Protein backbone atom coordinates (compact mmCIF):
# COMPACT_ATOMS: atom_id res chain seq x y z
CA UNK A 1 0.00 0.00 0.00
CA UNK A 2 1.35 3.39 -1.00
CA UNK A 3 1.26 5.43 2.22
CA UNK A 4 1.72 8.84 0.63
CA UNK A 5 0.77 11.17 3.43
CA UNK A 6 1.43 14.78 4.27
CA UNK A 7 4.31 15.37 6.71
CA UNK A 8 2.31 16.65 9.70
CA UNK A 9 0.03 13.61 9.47
CA UNK A 10 3.01 11.30 9.12
CA UNK A 11 4.35 12.62 12.43
CA UNK A 12 1.01 12.15 14.22
CA UNK A 13 0.34 8.70 12.75
CA UNK A 14 3.80 7.12 12.76
CA UNK A 15 2.96 4.94 15.78
CA UNK A 16 -0.37 3.93 14.23
CA UNK A 17 1.36 2.60 11.12
CA UNK A 18 3.44 0.27 13.33
CA UNK A 19 0.50 -1.40 15.08
CA UNK A 20 -0.27 -5.07 14.27
CA UNK A 21 -3.78 -4.33 12.95
CA UNK A 22 -2.34 -1.86 10.43
CA UNK A 23 0.24 -4.38 9.26
CA UNK A 24 -2.60 -6.84 8.65
CA UNK A 25 -4.66 -4.15 6.91
CA UNK A 26 -1.73 -3.30 4.64
CA UNK A 27 -1.35 -6.94 3.64
CA UNK A 28 -5.06 -7.19 2.85
CA UNK A 29 -5.11 -3.97 0.81
CA UNK A 30 -1.98 -4.92 -1.12
CA UNK A 31 -3.51 -8.28 -2.04
CA UNK A 32 -6.75 -6.62 -3.15
CA UNK A 33 -5.00 -4.12 -5.42
CA UNK A 34 -2.99 -6.98 -6.91
CA UNK A 35 -6.01 -9.13 -7.76
CA UNK A 36 -9.11 -6.90 -7.97
CA UNK A 37 -10.27 -3.54 -9.30
CA UNK A 38 -10.09 -1.30 -6.24
CA UNK A 39 -11.05 2.34 -5.75
CA UNK A 40 -9.68 4.92 -5.33
CA UNK A 41 -6.43 4.58 -7.31
CA UNK A 42 -3.77 3.39 -4.88
CA UNK A 43 -1.86 6.67 -4.95
CA UNK A 44 -5.02 8.48 -3.72
CA UNK A 45 -5.89 6.27 -0.72
CA UNK A 46 -4.67 8.95 1.68
CA UNK A 47 -5.68 11.94 -0.44
CA UNK A 48 -7.82 13.45 2.34
CA UNK A 49 -4.72 13.58 4.54
CA UNK A 50 -2.49 14.83 1.74
CA UNK A 51 -4.81 17.72 0.88
CA UNK A 52 -5.52 18.81 4.46
CA UNK A 53 -2.56 19.01 6.89
CA UNK A 54 -3.31 18.09 10.50
CA UNK A 55 -2.75 21.56 11.93
CA UNK A 56 -4.85 23.26 9.23
CA UNK A 57 -8.07 21.33 9.90
CA UNK A 58 -11.12 23.39 10.89
CA UNK A 59 -14.00 21.12 9.82
CA UNK A 60 -14.36 17.32 9.64
CA UNK A 61 -16.95 15.70 7.38
CA UNK A 62 -17.33 11.94 7.83
CA UNK A 63 -18.35 9.56 5.07
CA UNK A 64 -18.62 5.79 5.09
CA UNK A 65 -17.19 4.20 1.91
CA UNK A 66 -15.45 5.49 -1.21
CA UNK A 67 -17.57 5.57 -4.34
CA UNK A 68 -17.39 2.17 -6.03
CA UNK A 69 -18.08 3.01 -9.68
CA UNK A 70 -15.38 3.91 -12.25
CA UNK A 71 -13.82 7.36 -12.10
CA UNK A 72 -15.66 8.61 -9.02
CA UNK A 73 -13.48 7.99 -5.96
CA UNK A 74 -10.39 10.11 -5.41
CA UNK A 75 -9.86 9.83 -1.67
CA UNK A 76 -12.14 12.63 -0.43
CA UNK A 77 -15.55 11.71 0.95
CA UNK A 78 -18.53 12.91 -1.10
CA UNK A 79 -16.15 14.40 -3.71
CA UNK A 80 -15.66 13.40 -7.35
CA UNK A 81 -12.98 14.56 -9.80
CA UNK A 82 -13.60 17.35 -12.28
CA UNK A 83 -15.68 16.19 -15.23
CA UNK A 84 -17.44 13.39 -13.33
CA UNK A 85 -21.21 13.64 -12.80
CA UNK A 86 -22.17 14.65 -9.30
CA UNK A 87 -23.66 11.74 -7.31
CA UNK A 88 -27.13 12.41 -5.86
CA UNK A 89 -25.95 12.93 -2.26
CA UNK A 90 -23.41 15.51 -3.37
CA UNK A 91 -26.07 17.26 -5.45
CA UNK A 92 -28.16 17.54 -2.28
CA UNK A 93 -25.20 18.94 -0.34
CA UNK A 94 -24.86 21.68 -2.93
CA UNK A 95 -28.62 22.32 -2.85
CA UNK A 96 -28.49 22.87 0.90
CA UNK A 97 -25.49 25.20 0.57
CA UNK A 98 -27.47 27.24 -1.98
CA UNK A 99 -30.48 27.28 0.33
CA UNK A 100 -28.37 28.16 3.37
CA UNK A 101 -25.86 30.65 1.97
CA UNK A 102 -27.23 31.49 -1.49
CA UNK A 103 -24.08 30.16 -3.14
CA UNK A 104 -24.68 28.95 -6.72
CA UNK A 105 -24.42 25.22 -7.32
CA UNK A 106 -20.99 24.53 -8.89
CA UNK A 107 -20.56 22.61 -12.11
CA UNK A 108 -17.79 20.45 -10.62
CA UNK A 109 -18.19 18.05 -7.71
CA UNK A 110 -14.48 18.25 -6.87
CA UNK A 111 -14.20 19.28 -3.21
CA UNK A 112 -10.43 19.74 -3.16
CA UNK A 113 -11.09 23.46 -2.78
CA UNK A 114 -12.77 22.68 0.56
CA UNK A 115 -9.89 20.47 1.67
CA UNK A 116 -7.41 23.24 0.88
CA UNK A 117 -9.35 25.52 3.26
CA UNK A 118 -9.19 23.03 6.14
CA UNK A 119 -12.18 20.73 5.54
CA UNK A 120 -11.05 17.16 6.26
CA UNK A 121 -13.13 14.84 4.05
CA UNK A 122 -12.68 11.47 5.76
CA UNK A 123 -14.29 8.18 4.81
CA UNK A 124 -14.41 5.56 7.58
CA UNK A 125 -13.18 2.98 5.05
CA UNK A 126 -10.54 4.23 2.62
CA UNK A 127 -10.78 1.55 -0.10
CA UNK A 128 -13.49 -0.53 -1.80
CA UNK A 129 -13.86 -3.15 -4.54
CA UNK A 130 -15.43 -1.97 -7.77
CA UNK A 131 -19.23 -2.29 -7.74
CA UNK A 132 -19.21 -3.76 -4.19
CA UNK A 133 -20.22 -1.20 -1.58
CA UNK A 134 -18.87 -2.01 1.87
CA UNK A 135 -16.53 -4.69 0.59
CA UNK A 136 -13.55 -3.41 2.60
CA UNK A 137 -15.41 -2.77 5.83
CA UNK A 138 -14.27 -4.52 9.03
CA UNK A 139 -10.77 -5.15 7.66
CA UNK A 140 -9.05 -2.58 9.87
CA UNK A 141 -9.82 0.73 8.23
CA UNK A 142 -12.43 1.65 10.85
CA UNK A 143 -9.89 1.12 13.64
CA UNK A 144 -7.51 3.46 11.85
CA UNK A 145 -10.04 6.20 11.08
CA UNK A 146 -11.63 5.99 14.55
CA UNK A 147 -8.18 6.64 16.02
CA UNK A 148 -7.76 9.57 13.63
CA UNK A 149 -11.07 11.04 14.85
CA UNK A 150 -10.02 10.58 18.49
CA UNK A 151 -6.69 12.24 17.73
CA UNK A 152 -8.41 15.24 16.17
CA UNK A 153 -10.82 15.50 19.08
CA UNK A 154 -8.00 15.35 21.63
CA UNK A 155 -5.47 17.57 19.87
CA UNK A 156 -7.65 19.95 17.89
CA UNK A 157 -9.15 23.18 19.16
CA UNK A 158 -12.68 24.30 18.32
CA UNK A 159 -13.21 22.04 15.32
CA UNK A 160 -16.57 21.47 13.65
CA UNK A 161 -17.64 17.86 13.04
CA UNK A 162 -20.47 17.30 10.53
CA UNK A 163 -22.10 13.91 11.09
CA UNK A 164 -24.60 13.01 8.38
CA UNK A 165 -26.63 9.85 8.81
CA UNK A 166 -26.70 7.15 11.48
CA UNK A 167 -23.31 5.69 10.61
CA UNK A 168 -21.49 9.00 10.97
CA UNK A 169 -23.48 9.93 14.06
CA UNK A 170 -22.22 6.83 15.86
CA UNK A 171 -18.73 8.34 15.55
CA UNK A 172 -19.93 11.13 17.82
CA UNK A 173 -18.95 9.07 20.86
CA UNK A 174 -15.30 9.54 19.81
CA UNK A 175 -15.58 13.35 19.88
CA UNK A 176 -15.41 15.68 22.88
CA UNK A 177 -18.49 17.85 22.32
CA UNK A 178 -17.41 20.17 25.16
CA UNK A 179 -14.48 21.51 23.12
CA UNK A 180 -15.79 21.10 19.57
CA UNK A 181 -19.02 21.80 17.69
CA UNK A 182 -20.77 18.59 16.63
CA UNK A 183 -23.60 19.02 14.11
CA UNK A 184 -25.70 15.97 13.22
CA UNK A 185 -28.43 15.41 10.68
CA UNK A 186 -29.86 12.77 8.39
CA UNK A 187 -27.75 11.79 5.40
CA UNK A 188 -27.98 13.91 2.21
CA UNK A 189 -29.01 10.81 0.25
CA UNK A 190 -32.20 11.23 -1.80
CA UNK A 191 -33.74 8.63 0.52
CA UNK A 192 -33.42 10.87 3.57
CA UNK A 193 -32.46 14.44 2.63
CA UNK A 194 -36.05 15.67 2.86
CA UNK A 195 -36.27 14.40 6.46
CA UNK A 196 -33.95 17.04 7.87
CA UNK A 197 -30.85 17.54 5.77
CA UNK A 198 -32.50 20.26 3.73
CA UNK A 199 -32.89 23.22 6.02
CA UNK A 200 -30.32 22.13 8.61
CA UNK A 201 -28.22 25.28 7.95
CA UNK A 202 -25.08 23.46 9.02
CA UNK A 203 -22.86 25.36 6.60
CA UNK A 204 -23.77 28.78 7.99
CA UNK A 205 -23.62 27.41 11.55
CA UNK A 206 -20.14 26.09 10.83
CA UNK A 207 -18.93 29.45 9.59
CA UNK A 208 -20.51 31.31 12.52
CA UNK A 209 -18.67 29.00 14.94
CA UNK A 210 -15.35 29.39 13.12
CA UNK A 211 -15.75 33.17 13.08
CA UNK A 212 -16.50 33.18 16.80
CA UNK A 213 -13.15 31.48 17.43
CA UNK A 214 -11.17 33.78 15.14
CA UNK A 215 -10.93 31.29 12.29
CA UNK A 216 -11.41 32.07 8.62
CA UNK A 217 -14.87 30.84 7.50
CA UNK A 218 -15.08 28.26 4.71
CA UNK A 219 -15.88 29.43 1.19
CA UNK A 220 -18.38 26.66 0.50
pLDDT digit string, tens, across residues 139-160: 999 999 999 999 999 999 999 9
pLDDT digit string, tens, across residues 35-66: 999 999 999 999 999 999 999 999 999 999 99
pLDDT at site 2: 63
pLDDT at site 36: 97
65 is an active site residue: yes
For residue 210, say if its preceding peptide bond is cis, omega within 30 degrees of 0.
Answer: no
Mean pLDDT of the chain: 96
List 65, 82, 102, 154, catalytic entry: 65
- pLDDT higher than 80, residue 4: no
- pLDDT higher than 80, residue 1: no
pLDDT digit string, tens, across residues 112-122: 999 999 999 99
DSSP track, 98-126:
HHHH-PPPPS----HHHHTTTEEEEESS-
Q: Label the pairing between strands 38-39 and 128-129.
A: antiparallel
Q: Name the strand (E) or helix (H) holding 48.
A: helix 47-51
Q: Are 62 and 77 in contact (CB under 8 A)?
A: yes
- Is the overall model pTM greater than 0.85, yes or no? yes
Amino acid sequence: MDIKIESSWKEHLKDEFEKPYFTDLTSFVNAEYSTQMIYPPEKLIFNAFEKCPFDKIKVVILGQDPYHEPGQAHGLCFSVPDGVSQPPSLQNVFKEIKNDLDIPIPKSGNLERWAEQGVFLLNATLTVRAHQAGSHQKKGWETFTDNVIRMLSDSGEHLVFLLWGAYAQRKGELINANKHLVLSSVHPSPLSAHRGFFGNHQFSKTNEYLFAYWKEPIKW
